[in-house]
Homo-oligomer: A and B are copies of this chain.
Amino acid sequence: GVNPDLANERQTASFSVEKLTAWLDGGAEQTRLRRAVVEAIERDPVFSRENQYFQSQNERYEAAVRKAVHLQKKMHEMGWSQDGPESKYIYRAVAGDIAFLLHRIFMRSISVLGSDEQIAKWIPPASQYQLIGSYAQTELGHGTYLQGLETTAVFDVTTQEFILNTPKISAMKWWPGDMGRSATHTVVFAQLYVHGKCYGIHPFIVQIRSLQDHSLCPGIIAGDIGPKMNFEHIDNGYLMLQNVRVPRENMLNKFCEVQPDGTYVRRGSQKINYFTMTSVRISLISGEAVTPLMKACTIAIRYSAVRRQSKLKPGEQEAKILDYQTQQEKLLPQLAAAYAFHFIDDYLQEMFDRGYREIQRKNFDTLPELHALSSGFKATVTQYCTSGVEICLRACGGHGYSLLSGLPSLYTKIIASCIYEGENTILLLQTARFLVKSFMAASTGQSVPPSVTYLAAVKPRKCPAKNKLDFLSPDIYTEAYQHMAVRLISSTAAKLQDLIQSGVKKHDAWNRCTVQLAQAAKAHCHYITVKNFAETVEKLESKAGIQKIMKHLCDLFALHGIFSNAGVFMHDGYISGAQMDMVTASYLDLLAIVRKDAVPLVDAFDFTDKSLNSALGCYDGQVYQRLYEWARKSPTNKQISPAYEKYLKPLLHNTLSKL
């Protein structure tokens, strides 16, 4: 049965959980489809994650390969296609614990960078898994800065081959997933040399393992890079190339080609590559950042409604920890953020789809804005969600620290999202570059993309709020965020100009502004998030039951941001000290209001117990029973440790001196 402490929380919900779930999914039909996929996957024992927290890196890898192979069968069985409506729910259902994700990137890179002949040659066998691909870009000594890659590909006119080499250890390919133990092929990025001249980075298809017996091909040194903070299921690998020869046709040549005589030809626009990066960054926001935060909130909030500690009122029983203001202040802003970023994901998807349609018409005008927004939001959302998951973990005290809570693995995985697909600080600075440019354009009256037109607007110098209730007005707080973003962008742009005008070299001036530029980029994304949340709530007018609680969450998200970043709002006096006290008062009031619906709000995310894989977070709230049952299954209890016979027994029997 359900723990009464949790059942009570559900009886007093101010809205229909089922309706909210359907709305979050984009309609009841989507909810039905999602549940059907999840059910089909979870019913199948091959996809079980029951022993995950007890497995070694080798066992995790083996399970991930088993699941990936079995998934092909399953999809066939269920009639799901790779591009079907089910596909976006499959990854959620397997909780990411699956191999061959880089195989997909391998195929996509051929589709985007390859000629029609290359696509025709490689895609069919790859789709059939007659080969397994990977994507070898990053090197041991080189990440973000692609031009710095050191792997070489020298064209040999006599044999019509490229000769690939890893000239030194820092040039080893390092990190590519699926490469350490699975892949037979990979796309290698290398500096192209023809007749002694360097033409920069190009992609080459290289076979690394035998299709017959999986042994390494001649000239190939490859293996697994070893233990990581998480991702034990992925065989991130290393690769060293020693005079490895591939035919001329293996250079992906949609955009450039080396002709038989060594003539180098470039063709078409490569802008589409930017679009690919943009698409990857947007696509990871939901699955790799927002979903883990939603899971962490579900676990921590359900647990906090069940865990009792100390007395809030003398004479009563111990209080639910969710009733403490400090616990509310830890968890509820994270819950509000999970909703805020779910809506930002919708916003970015829509913008992306619009951009995609334009690009198909060969109109690349939206690309700079899309690139800036996807970079900035990838950075701000992964950063926010990572710290949110950490807060949830710590808010569960000792039990949160047990792997069985599910929280440590959520954390150790999500933190990687701050690093991969563009390190966050570097991405923020890309956004900042776009903002500074837009600000300059706007202030000289030029037209700018829609998301930054606000930079040109003249606004009141003081926040008009007169009491704490005024701060529950979306106009008031959205204006405050806008004002703050404009101020940070304009003042940093001014500092940059001043430095340059005072004679500092451009690159040096830029470096000396980067701390503030990154802050300005975050402010921009924070503003857009608040504005988009408020607009989403407004559009909900037909769903009054949901609108009310969403309005509370929107207010909470916005005021938490002002409360936590008070300095940037007060800097020029836009918000006064007295007004900041009003913000604080409204913010703390909201905690008590949202607390009442906290459990229904996480129930609406609709995670199954299996997908949470948490002894603390299950729907029934039987926390202690489950912790005990799961702990007993641990390998640490499966056998008597050899430590007893070897060390403890001699010690206890006082034979220490003979050791």
**Do residues B514 and A398 form an inter-chain contact, with CB atoms below 8 A?**
no
**Do residues A404 and B226 form an inter-chain contact, with CB atoms below 8 A?**
yes
Q: Taking the complex as formed, is A223 at the interface, i.e. its CB lies under 8 A from any CB of chain B?
A: yes
Copies of this chain in its oligomeric complex: 2
Q: Taking the complex as formed, is A27 at the interface, i.e. its CB lies under 8 A from any CB of chain B?
A: no
**Do residues A214 and B643 form an inter-chain contact, with CB atoms below 8 A?**
no
Chain A, interface SS category: helix
**Chain B residues within an 8 Å CB radius of A144:** 309-310
| Residue with the greatest number of chain B CB neighbours at <10 A, chosen from A505, A633, A644 | A644
> Once bound together, how far apart are the Cα atoms of A290 and B22, in whole Å?
49
Stretch at the interface among A8-16, A266-274, A347-355, A569-577: A569-577
**Chain B residues within an 8 Å CB radius of A131:** 652
Q: Taking the complex as formed, is A423 at the interface, i.e. its CB lies under 8 A from any CB of chain B?
A: yes
Q: Give chain A interface residues in 322-353, CB to chain B under 8 Å.
A: 323-327, 329-330
Query: Chain B: which residue is nearest A52 at the CB level?
Result: B227
**Do residues B624 and A170 form an inter-chain contact, with CB atoms below 8 A?**
yes
**Chain B residues within an 8 Å CB radius of A649:** 214
**Do residues B229 and A403 form an inter-chain contact, with CB atoms below 8 A?**
yes
Contact of A630 among B142, B226, B643 (CB under 8 A): B226
Q: Taking the complex as formed, is A497 at the interface, i.e. its CB lies under 8 A from any CB of chain B?
A: no
Count of chain A residues with a beta carbon within 8 Å of a chain B beta carbon: 132
**Chain B residues within an 8 Å CB radius of A404:** 226-227
**Do residues B57 and A636 form an inter-chain contact, with CB atoms below 8 A?**
yes
> Once bound together, how far apart are the Cα atoms of A415 and B387, in whole Å?
13
Contact of A656 among B73, B402, B418 (CB under 8 A): B73
Contact with B along A172-187 (1 / 0, CB 8 A): 1011000011101000
**Do residues B57 and A635 form an inter-chain contact, with CB atoms below 8 A?**
yes
**Known contacts A143-B398, A631-B223; is-contact A313 B508 (Cβ 8 Å):** yes
**Do residues A408 and B412 form an inter-chain contact, with CB atoms below 8 A?**
yes
**Known contacts A507-B313, A515-B329, A635-B58; is-contact A624 B140 (Cβ 8 Å):** yes
**Do residues A514 and B326 form an inter-chain contact, with CB atoms below 8 A?**
yes
> Once bound together, how far apart are the Cα atoms of A397 and B313, in whole Å?
48
- The list of the 4 closest CB pairs from A to B, nearest first, reads A566-B567, A226-B634, A224-B636, A567-B567
